[in-house]
Structures are given as C-alpha cells and as structure tokens.
Structure 1
Amino acid sequence: MRKKYSYNIDIILDEKPTKKAAVLNLPYPHGGNLSDLLTLRNDSIVIACTRNSDININDIFRNYNSGIYAQIAKSFIYYICTKRKIPKVKKIVITSSRGGAELDKLKVNPKDFQIQYKLRSKFCSIINSKALQASLDESPKGTALLKAASHLIKSKTKEDIFDRFDSLWKAFNSLYKIIGKSEKDHDCHVALREKLLAYPTLSTNTARLLSPMTEMQIRDKLRWRQLILNDYATAKKTKALHDFILRYTDARLMKVICQILPYRQDFLTTENLLQSTLKHIQSHIQANVNNDQELTAFLCIKYMYFVRNRSAHGERLDRIIGLNNKEIKETQWLSDVLESLIIDLINSNNLF
C-alpha cells in the first residue's frame, strides 16, 4: 500500500500553559469523510494532517489556494472565538514526513508576521464552542459561519466605529445569505425575519438587550425621518409603506410610527390606505404588547440596511477628525446590537 504524507503544524503561542486540551476533527477540502486532527491548548494549536500527495510546505503561506493554510486559518478563528482573545504567536513549525522519515521542516518566526492584531474589547457575549464547530465543516454553511466569525473578529480590532460597523455587516451578510439561500438581499432579509419571529432562541441575548427599550428611546436613537423619506421616496412606494407598517405589532414601534406618519400621510390618504394603517396602529397600541423579536428584526434588518447603504453608497461624510456626533453614537449603539445578533445566530446555527 502506498505510503501517505504526513504534515504536522505546531503553532506555539505566548500564553499561559495548560494541560486541558480540546481535540476536534478538522474536515479539509475534497477530503470526503476524512478529517485532520486539531488539538487546542491555551498555549498551542496543533494540526495533524495526512495527504496522498507531496506538498511543498514552503508554499503554504504563498499559495492563496493552499489547503493547509486554510486549515491554519480555520484553527486560529476557532481559537480566537472560543478563547475570546487573539493570541501572540511565538513561532510556527511545519514538518512533512513519510513513513516516519522527516522530509522537510519550515519555521516561521514572529518577525515574519506582518502584524499581530489585538482585540480592542471582548465579545459582547460568549460564543458557544460546540455550535462554532459547524464552522469547521467543508460545506456552504460551514464556510458562511467561518466568514462570519472572521469578520466578527476583525470588527473587534477596528478603531474607527464606521469600519467596525462595516466588518460586522459583512459578518451579518454572510449569515443571512446562508439562511435565505439566495444572493438577493431582499429575499434573505425576508427569510431571516421569518426565522427570528419563529424561533426566539435565534436572538436570545439581543432580545434581552433590547427588551428594556422604551418608545422614547427608540424614537430618539434613530433617524426615522431620513429612513421613511429614503425608503418611501415617491407615491409609488405608498403600498410598500403600508405593508411595512402592518408587518409589525410591537406597541413601542407602533407608537413611534404613529408619530412619524405625517411624513407620508398625504401619500397614504391619496392611495386610500390611511384608515387601514391607522386602525392597525391604534389596535396594537391599545393591546400594549412588546415583541422584542420584532424590534430585533426591525433594527438589524430594516434600519441597519438603510444605514449600511448610506455608507456603502458614499451618502455620508467620512470622519476626518475624531469629533463625536449623533451619527457616531448611533453607529456605536447599532454595532453593539448587531454584534450581539451575530453571536446569537452563530450559537443557534442548528436552526438553519
């Protein structure tokens, strides 16, 4: 029987040694049912690989499509998310062997790293290590979770609040695309909203974060006038506005929408939709029932998509000097909410 090639990656970290280790299977591209073996300790990451072909280990960090490099990246992302820190790397040693005989060895020292990032703050909630194991799978869902986790990590290294929001949106985009199983944002947003309302556990921590919010806080924190005028700019969008309002029942949102309705009251009157809109609003104000999942969906899908598009389309001034204003404070708060939902979705990925 033809002997296979073994590749051992030892990543030594400048962290406190511990005996406790997590041992995980690490599926690899085109490996079928086969997996590499990942062993994680606080001060080390070790990956044991077996392949049929001879791989030039000197190309691992130069080849964009290197399967071994992908395994290293996966392992680092899993470590950072579960340990809630970016470790300082002392060195990386990659050894290739066959039949017990060493063939080659590559040593990568700290001076070879372009930069080693640090988290500016800890994640807002704990990422479930068992749930995160799905990100190690070689599947569309595994890839989406891995991308989301990588952008989530990157967001925690950003100093500029708008850069942080952009990274978080990339993570969110990766998740709602796999939930919606479509490349169209609208279809994915509809699918995600349905999931959030059907499965409250998809937004456990986020709903808890938003639950204490009052009608006044919801009104004051957001740019409601800009949202309505932007999303429903012409009379042709009146039916869409009517349908948007009727999708919500949360009493706090209904009270705010009642206050901002004059922005488009003429459109609703002309299209003979004002009375049905007012009837819906008043009935749910009287019911006085809060729905934290609806508020989560409104903020993270409807409102943040509006905010993201303003940034992506260059509709806001970029910050040249560090002066705080209401938009910066809003983006900081929205980023905290979005980070919470991203972690909720990763932790409950068994539901999609």
Structure 2
Amino acid sequence: MAKSEFQSKKPNNIREYIELANDISDYKNRLKAIDFLSKYKCYESKKELYRLMKTDKIFAVKEQAFRALQNFGEDVRLTKKKKGKSVKTINDKLLILHNSFNGDPYTLTDFKIKFKDLYPYIYDIYNYEKKSKFDSFITSSIKTFAKRKIKHNYSINISFDAPDIFISREIFDMEYKGSSDTNDELEIKNDTLTIRSNRSAKINLINIVFSESNSIHNQIIKSLIYYYIKVNRFVPIKSISINRIKQTGEDTIISLPTTKIAVEQILNEKFISIDISTVNINDLFKSDDKSKAIQYALTYLLKSKITNEQSERFEKLWKSFNSIYHYLGNGANENECHRLIRNFILTNPTLFSKSHRKAKAITIKELREKVRFYELLSNDYDTKEKIVSFIAFVFRYQNKVVCKNLLDNISYFETDLKDIFNLDKVESKFNKFDYIKDLYHNNKSSSDKDIIFKKVKDYLEDKVKNPVPNTELEITAFICLKYCYYLRNKIFHAEKQDLTFRFAKNNLIFELEWVNEILETLIVELISTNVNWTRKN
C-alpha cells in the first residue's frame, strides 16, 4: 500500500477534529476526523488514532485509524473483527426503550428518536452494520417483547462543579443483584454521570437516597467511586436528580440539594490523586463478591486520602485491606485469610514492584526503630502454650532484615524454647505445621534438651549471615499483616487511648505514618491487579 503524505506538525484547528473523533453518535464524523488527523503526525493526532483503533466499536473506523497509524510508521496491530453481536446487551437496551413507553403505542420513528437519544453509540453501530435493514431489525426485535414486560424506568443524573474537566464519553453496563436478563447503564461525560435503570417493581424513590441496600443507591456509589478515580482529584457534587422515564420524557421526582436534604461531599480538597487506573477496576460494575470487595476496599481507600489524622487513616486503610483478604479467604478464619494473601503476595512478586521497592529500602535498623518487636511478640506469644506457634512464625521468614530483628529478640523466648519437650501435647502442636514438624521429630530423641532453642537460633543466624535473595516482600507481608494486625487490635479495641487526644505527635503517630505509606502502596497494587486474585474454594 502506497504511503500517503503527512506533515509532522500540530494543526491549529485540531481541537475541532478531536471533538469529531469523540462523536459516538455518528461514525461518519469519526471517519472524517481520521481523514484529517492522518495528515498531521503529532502527539494529539496519534493519541486519538490509537484510541479509535483500540476502542471504537465499528470495525471500519478501527481499520481506518490503524491504516493512518501504519502510514505514520507506528508499529501497530489490528485485531480481527469479532463475530456475533456487536453489543452483547443490545436486546436489553431495546427492551428498556420499549418499556420506556409504558405500554402506550408508538411509531418506529418515535422509537428511533429515543434510541438515538439514549444510546447514541449503539444506534450508530447498528445503523452502520444493518444499513438498509436497520428498520426491519428494530421492528423484528420489538415484536419479541411483551406489551408491558417492565414498567418502571429511571434515570439518575449527577452533575459536578467541574467545568474544566474533559472526559470522552464512556458507557458501562452495571449488573445488579437479582438481575438476570438486563443491566443498568452508566454514562460518563465531562462533569456529568447518568445512570439508567429499569425495575420490574415500582421503587419508592426516597429509598434511592436513604437506603444503602437499595440497588440503585449502590449503583450511584459505584459510579462516584469510578468517577473520582477517573478524574483523580476532588470535584464537588453540584446536584443529583432522580427521574422516572415516561413516554413524554423524564419526570424529575427528587432533586438534591433541597432545603432539608443537602448533598454530602464524599471527598474534599485534601484528595489529590490515587495511583489506580480505571481500566483495572471495571469489575466494580459486576454484582458478585469480588465486585463488593473492590467496592468496599476503594471506599475506605479513598476516604483514607482525606484525613490528616494518621490513626484515622490507618483505620480506613486496614478496613480496605481487610475487604480484600477476606474476599480471598472466602469465609475462612482470620489466620487462614492472612496466610492466603501472604502467599499471594510472595508468589506474585512482579505484581508488587512498588511495594518491593519500598521494602528493599528498609534497613535492619529502620525496621527495629519502627516496629515494636518485643511488644508484638510478647502480645502474640504470651504463654508457653504458644511457643510452637512462635517457632512456626519464625520459620515463615527468610529475609535477613526480618530475621535479624527476630534474632535480637530470641532471648525473650529462650526459657520456653529450652523447656519445649515438657509442653503438653507438643507433638500434635508441631504436626499442625508441615514445614516445622520435622524439627520436632528429628530432635525429640536428642539428649540435648536445648536442641530446639539452638535450632531456631541457628536458623535465624544462618539467614542473617547468608541472605536469601529476592525476599524483600516478606518485609511488606510482615509489616502489613503481622504488625498492622497487632496495631489494629490495640487501637480498635481501646487498648490504647484515643490517638487524637494528644498535645503533640507521639512516637506511635510517627510509626503509623510510616506504616500507612507501606500499607497504602500494597492496597493500591492489590486493587490494580485484582484480575489476578485467586480465591479459596
């Protein structure tokens, strides 16, 4: 194919054609935009062409964008045209439109006008693909619908005080609990969110505002989570209107704020940004357990970004983390949930590059100064009955930084370790842990009664003298699981005074500041890689 000529510069009127490239209601405008952009090789042109090639629903548009980029000398690949329905939920959308007339008669023209108004991108796709058969496609689809299958259609419009925000139109299907054959829809454009829903039963619209168990209320929460991560800064909610869709148009039933009901801002100006791409949280719009875990984790994570109090921030971050590891545990007890998420982190190091970088910078001295090792260990292993669990804890670690700090505290457990063979049911206690049971069985006949203490100490000394490479994430796991869980119990169960009741920053506040940075980094990476989550069966 002969190369077309282009200029390596940015044209003055490029904004006009970028707007055309974002017109999802008419593929002809997008093709016109591509024709123009293909003549100017610049950052803006390439950005739009790449977007159209990757995301446009009409293959002819994708292909023309691909050809333009190829002509620029870009190394691009064009995916094959998908077979089957271009829009999987087309029947759902047509049914919503059909039911929006509430059983009243309508003409094909009425239907097409509303179709193009509510679902411009779907209208565009099928108008292109069906061409002269478009009308018959609509007519035949309508005939399959019952006269009054779903009666109640709603839209929720949320506007933000953000005139400077430019977001290309995005549309998502949103599942909801109890739905089997239809979904809600979220449309995002610039400073506006629109949720379109239909329900078989008439909803008390007040419940959408006040009842957190209401499915549409939950869709609003999910939409706000997504929007704030998308814009990556705080923008105030200006208004929320809840509308019932009728044949004659939308009838606004509730509009906030009112004289009695204010719009509460979810975030504030302290929220600056969060390092999560919206591409990685699309499962938020599903209605399964994973979606719920992501939703809960994100609400606490976002809230943690708007407080200056480190104790409050820690509480939010811990609850965010808790949501994730309880999902992975699938009903397992706390210890098993911790074991599973620890294993997930350590066996997938490539997913946690930022956490790894932070952990790698932590020295033996820093960990000793930031973590109250004696308080932690004496709290978790406070009786002789727990000494085998202490050994199991020690043998879970190979990292030099952690092992050196454990070695420095081994003397506190020396007496119990030396007397371990006199422990009641000691063999059964060791047998609970596959990786240390041989420590007991291989040494139980030894004449040296101090042998277990020596073996534990030797193990730690060896890890310090002969560091095992690539074990830095053990530091992350130790801090975020072992130590944070200890802090959580002390703070949440009122074993410490209210940490905001102080006249100056104390050591624990500085400690929490350090812990929070490490915990937040891990949570962000966990959420960003949720596609890799593995759940206990």
TM exceeds 0.5? yes
Secondary structure of residue in 1 paired with 2:397: coil
Q: C-alpha displacement at 1:276, in angstroms?
A: 1.3
Q: C-alpha displacement at 1:329, in angstroms?
A: 0.4
Deviates more, 1:159-168 or 1:52-61: 52-61
Q: C-alpha displacement at 1:108, in angstroms?
A: 1.1
Q: Identify the match of residue 230 of structure 1 among 376, 379, 383.
A: 379
Who is 2:531 aligned against?
350
Is 1:211–1:292's contact at 8 Å kept on the other side of the alignment? yes
Q: C-alpha displacement at 1:270, in angstroms?
A: 2.2
Deviates more, 1:40-49 or 1:68-77: 40-49
Q: Identify the match of residue 464 of structure 2 among 261, 285, 305.
A: 285
CA-to-aligned-CA distance 1:256-306 (integer Å, 9 cap, x gap): 211121122222222242111122112222222351221111111111101
Is 2:237–2:263's contact at 8 Å kept on the other side of the alignment? no
Who is 1:307 aligned against?
487
Compared with structure 1, are the counterparts of its residues 8 and 234 closer, same or farther at alpha carbon in structure 2 (3 Å cutoff)? same
Q: C-alpha distance in 2, partners of 1:65/1:254?
A: 47
Who is 2:513 aligned against?
332
Higher normalized strand content (fraction of residues): 1
Q: C-alpha distance in 1, partners of 2:180/2:234?
A: 31
Count of matched residue pairs: 351
1:14 aligns with 2:161: yes
Q: C-alpha distance in 1, partners of 2:157/2:401?
A: 54
Equivalent positions of 1:1-352 (< 5 A) are 1-2=147-148, 4-15=151-162, 16-18=164-166, 20-109=168-257, 112-113=261-262, 115-116=264-265, 117-118=267-268, 120-123=270-273, 126-271=275-420, 272=450, 273-290=452-469, 291-319=471-499, 320-352=501-533
Q: C-alpha displacement at 1:344, in angstroms?
A: 0.9
Compared with structure 1, are the counterparts of its residues 119 and 155 closer, same or farther at alpha carbon in structure 2 (3 Å cutoff)? farther
For structure 2, the 5+ residue unaligned runs are 1-146, 421-449
Deviates more, 1:81-90 or 1:8-17: 81-90
The TM-score, its normalising length taken from structure 1, stands at 0.93
For structure 1, the 5+ residue unaligned runs are none
Deviates more, 1:284-293 or 1:132-141: 284-293
CA-to-aligned-CA distance 1:288-332 (integer Å, 9 cap, x gap): 235122111111111110110111221112231341111110011
Q: C-alpha displacement at 1:230, in angstroms?
A: 0.8
Compared with structure 1, are the counterparts of its residues 17 and 288 closer, same or farther at alpha carbon in structure 2 (3 Å cutoff)? closer
Compared with structure 1, are the counterparts of its residues 168 and 17 closer, same or farther at alpha carbon in structure 2 (3 Å cutoff)? closer
Q: C-alpha displacement at 1:181, in angstroms?
A: 1.2
Q: C-alpha displacement at 1:183, in angstroms?
A: 4.6
Is 1:90–1:110's contact at 8 Å kept on the other side of the alignment? no
What's the Cα RMSD here? Answer: 2.0
CA-to-aligned-CA distance 1:80-137 (integer Å, 9 cap, x gap): 23322332011112221234544553211276326323152435x5112122111221
The TM-score, its normalising length taken from structure 2, stands at 0.62
Is 2:314–2:516's contact at 8 Å kept on the other side of the alignment? yes
Higher RCO structure, 1 or 2 (CA under 8 Å, sep 6+):
1
CA-to-aligned-CA distance 1:18-38 (integer Å, 9 cap, x gap): 251222111122112522111
Secondary structure of residue in 1 paired with 2:409: helix
Q: Looking at CA atoms only, which structure, 1 or 2, has the larger radius of gyration?
A: 2
Q: What letter is aligned with 2:529? A: S
Who is 2:47 aligned against?
none
Q: What letter is aligned with 2:286? A: D
Question: Percent of pairs identical after alignment?
Answer: 27
